[in-house]
Amino acid sequence: MLVFYLTFTWWAWLILGGILMATELLLPTGFFLFFFGVGAALTGCLEALGLLRSFPSQGLAFIVISFASIVLLRKPLLAKFHFRNKPHFSVDSLVGQTAVALEAIAPQSTGKVELRGAAWSARNTGSEPIPVNARCRVEHVEGLTLYVKL
């Protein structure tokens, strides 16, 4: 039985590696395609040096290099580029903050306040009206509404 093996030339592996690494920039793949691109590029380099003659050896090298680089390098690079450690913002951290009224808000009425550079819907929970540009304290948050009072 005649067995026919395809062979990729070294430049085909390098092109595949470049395409995979470029695709990582365009798609949110979680930093996986980049390492398959590294595997393809290194496989192309090994093939150019004459170390990988057959397609099965090239495929095996591609798989081993790709998975080894994912296992060894992905986590440190994610930490370095802060993909995992993005700070989480909780609206509960707004409680106790000082907001500025953008309009007059009567007691038990709804209006607009500014907090951290953004306009929010606010409900006056106090017994006194809140005048325009007055500072008010955030008592609690429900959804996108701040409950405030003077």
The pLDDT of residue 86: 53
Domains parsed from the chain with CATH numbers: 10-80 (no CATH), 91-149 (2.40.50.140)
Q: How far is CA 27 from the centre of its chain?
A: 11
78 and 31 in contact (C-beta within 8 Å)? yes
- For the chain, report the end-to-end CA distance as a whole number of angstroms: 89
The pLDDT of residue 2: 45
CA distance 34 to 36: 5
134 and 104 in contact (C-beta within 8 Å)? no
The pLDDT of residue 88: 54
With cut-offs at 50, 70 and 90, classify the pLDDT of residue 1: very low
Residues 6 or more apart in contact with residue 84 via CB below 8 angstroms: 78
- 77-126 confidence digits (pLDDT tens): 888 876 544 555 565 688 889 999 999 999 999 999 999 888 999 999 99
Residue 7: pLDDT above 70?
no
The pLDDT of residue 110: 94
- 28-78 confidence digits (pLDDT tens): 778 889 999 999 999 999 999 989 888 889 999 999 999 999 999 988 888
124 and 99 in contact (C-beta within 8 Å)? no
107 and 124 in contact (C-beta within 8 Å)? yes
